[in-house]
Amino acid sequence: MNGIIPLYKERGLTSFDCVAKLRHILHTKKVGHSGTLDPSVDGVLPICIGSATKVVPYLMGSGKIYRGTLTLGLATTTEDLDGDVIDRQPLTTAFTADQLIQAAAALTGTIQQTPPMYSAVKVNGRKLYEYARAGETVERPTRTITVTRFDLTTPGDFDAEQGTQTVAFEIACSKGTYVRTLAVDLGRQLGVPAVMASLTRIKSGGFTLDQAVTLDEVAAAMAAEDLSPILRPIDYALTQYPHVALSERLWGLVKNGVFLDQAQVGSTEPIVALSYAGATKCLYQFLPEKQQYKPLKMFAVD
């Protein structure tokens, strides 16, 4: 049993909850997810089964797309609505679409981001949320992220009584991006507190929301002894690399880790996916100084 399941993670479950449930359903321990989703966030969570766990880093490296809402006028400890309110600044008028678009533009491109205190980022061997729950503060390292797109889809709903404005958005970003922090930073650009109100991941690892399956659907497929409709091959994580089909002779060399000459591979790409008998077996990386390809990642040797 090897492949990738594009799971729909429901709200209220942790990513590890999903892994644990799938281990039980599929009767296998070799299960890994590709990118944590907070319990309050739903959406696409690609899950790797069996030897496909080796492609987790490649799934995580692909871009992600989120759709959600943020609320201007208040802030919380966790940067989403699960936390305690720590700041309020009632709005007297709504921000215009132009003001919102300009603020989002300042957060687009390659930028620096400081992860929230309520996150799983480790500092000195402890997760930040462990410091936060203990009432401690610690210096947080910044990280470089890329926000390809930060679209504010509507000017939002203005609540004059509460002094808040809720805005819908869609974000395309790199791995390691905290979308709730982007919501807070958008408010900072506008000079008001802000919080992420809701979030759904609509694309991850090349899978879209309409391709995702529920835990119940996985259980039903397992009961029917037919996972083919939901278990995708590892190639779904490797579409960015050119594929080269190997002869039986070359596969005999590759499965033993032998370097290949450029002429044998027939490519000049930095990284190629090598396949045999219709299945992707490994990634090979080009060494310009030797004009050879060397093993980068082996997925299967049978």
Query: Given 17, 38, 185, 302, which residue is catalytic?
Result: 38
Active site residue 38: yes
**Non-local CB neighbours of 219 within 8 Å, separated by 6+ positions:** 25
Transcribe the chain into DSSP letters. Answer: --EEEEEEEPTT--HHHHHHHHHHHHT-S-EEESS---TT-EEEEEEEEGGGGGGHHHHHHS-EEEEEEEEESEEETTSBTTS-EEEE---SSPPPHHHHHHHHHTT-EEEEEPPPSSS--EETTEEHHHHHHTT---PPPPEEEEEEEEEE-S--EEETTTTEEEEEEEEEE-TT--HHHHHHHHHHHHTS-EEEEEEEEEEETTEEGGG-B-HHHHHHHHHTT--TTT-B-GGGG-TTS-EEEPPHHHHHHHTTT--EEHHHHT---SEEEEEETTEEEEEEEEETTTTEEEEEEE----
Alpha-carbon gap, residue 41 to 59, rounded angstroms: 19
d(CA 74, CA 192): 8
Hey, what are 130's tokens?
A: 């462990």
β-pairing, 42-49 with 194-204?
A: parallel
CA 84 to chain centre: 26
The number of beta carbons lying within 10 Å of the beta carbon of residue 73 is: 21
Looking at the annotation, which residues are catalytic? Answer: 38
